[in-house]
Amino acid sequence: MGDSVVINKEGFPHHVGIIMDGNGRWAKKRGLPRLSGHKQGASVFGKIARHAVDTSVKYLTAYAFSTENWKRPASEVAGIMDLLRGFLKDTEKYKDDNIRVRVIGDVSALDLDLRRMITDLEEKSRERDGLVLSIAINYGARSEILRAAKAYANDPLKPLSLDEAKFGEYLYTKGIPDVDLIIRTSGEIRVSNFLLWQAAYAEYIFLDVLWPDFTPRHFDSALLEYAKRNRRLGNI
Ligand code: IPE
Ligand code: IPE
Ligand code: MG
């Protein structure tokens, strides 16, 4: 647990989303190749997930690779995929932390070995009842919503009266509550196609910190700031 603030009170977020941005700029600042920024970012991601276990957060959803990120040079994409392999290949990953791992996004576009690792880790960690860590890979919110609409249309068992909750069952995040707080690092103030449906009432925190410099302290401060905000949810 270290010297981290343990936050487990009313008013703190249960589901936090993170847009982990700024790896490339972090590397550039140091005269390093972009991939070393991604490496450092992956290591920070591992630490933050473990740290989240000691907080109010029960669901953590991290944006690792977007449907738009394929536009990057092939070597960068391959490097990111290798980092994901390194992360996902260990089916004992996070066992001691009791973290359940799932992947959201269109995994059908990923290499077969990576898809197998994802299925294995999801299967192996299914019974863990601690933090639910969702990693968004080849994820885009518009494509998720479109896919859900098609899945509903083609579902022979579809409920005839479709409502918001039932529609949510067709999204990748089925079974996971709406996101309460989204943190984006790197100073960019945009959503970049992340959790558009689930974030309808989310609070946002944009930080001027590059993802590889993000620490548990930043995470805890964000939870505290969230707790201070007045979420009226349409009420007065
Ligand atoms: C975020 O860092 C990681 C991914 C999008 C995969 P970036 O690679 O976007 O870093 P910047 O924005 O170029 O600094
Ligand atoms: C968003 O970061 C996606 C991830 C963090 C995986 P980007 O760096 O791809 O976003 P834009 O292109 O600056 O909007
Ligand atoms: Mg970026």
Q: Which of 3, 8, 21, 193 is catalytic?
A: 21
Residue 2 has pLDDT above 90, yes or no: no
State pLDDT tens for residues 157-182: 999 999 999 999 999 999 999 999 99
Q: Is 21 a catalytic residue?
A: yes
Residue 7 has pLDDT above 80, yes or no: no
State pLDDT tens for residues 197-208: 999 999 999 999
- CA of 34 from ligand 3 middle (Å) equals 11
Distance of CA 22 to the CA centre of its chain: 15
pTM: 0.96
Instruction: Give residue ranges with CB within 6 A of ligand 2.
Output: 19-21, 63-66, 68-69, 188, 190, 192
Per-residue confidence (pLDDT) for residue 1, from 0 to 100: 44
- CA of 86 from ligand 1 middle (Å) equals 18
Q: What does the chain come to in residues?
A: 236
State pLDDT tens for residues 218-233: 999 999 999 999 888 8
Mean pLDDT of 91-98: 95
CA neighbor of 60 nearest in space, from 69, 68, 70, 50: 50
Helix, strand, coil % in the chain, rounded to nearest 5? 40, 15, 45
Residue 127 has pLDDT above 60, yes or no: yes
Backbone angles phi and psi of 203, in degrees to 5 = -90, 145
Ligand number nearest CA of 140 is 2
Nearest CA to ligand 1 atom 12: 22
**Amino acid residing at 102:** R
Give the CA angle between residues 46, 52, 55 to the nearest 5°. Answer: 165
Ligand number nearest CA of 183 is 2
Can you tell me which atom of ligand 2 is nearest the CA of 69? Answer: 9
- CA of 107 from ligand 2 middle (Å) equals 18
Cβ–ligand 1 distance for 24 under 6 Å, the answer yes
Mean pLDDT of the chain: 96
- Give the up-direction half-sphere exposure of residue 88: CA atoms within 13 A in the CB hemisphere: 26
Ramachandran region, residue 126 (left: φ > 0; alpha: ψ -120 to 50; beta: rest): alpha
Nearest CA to ligand 1 atom 13: 24
User: Which residues make Cβ contacts (< 8 Å) with residue 182, sequence separation at least 6?
Assistant: 16, 17, 18, 19, 191, 194, 195, 199, 202, 203, 204, 205
Mean pLDDT of 19-23: 99
- CA of 22 from ligand 3 middle (Å) equals 5
Q: Is 69 a catalytic residue?
A: yes
**Amino acid residing at 31:** G
Per-residue confidence (pLDDT) for residue 10, from 0 to 100: 81
Per-residue confidence (pLDDT) for residue 148, from 0 to 100: 98
Per-residue confidence (pLDDT) for residue 39, from 0 to 100: 98
Ligand number nearest CA of 25 is 1
d(CA 128, CA 90): 15
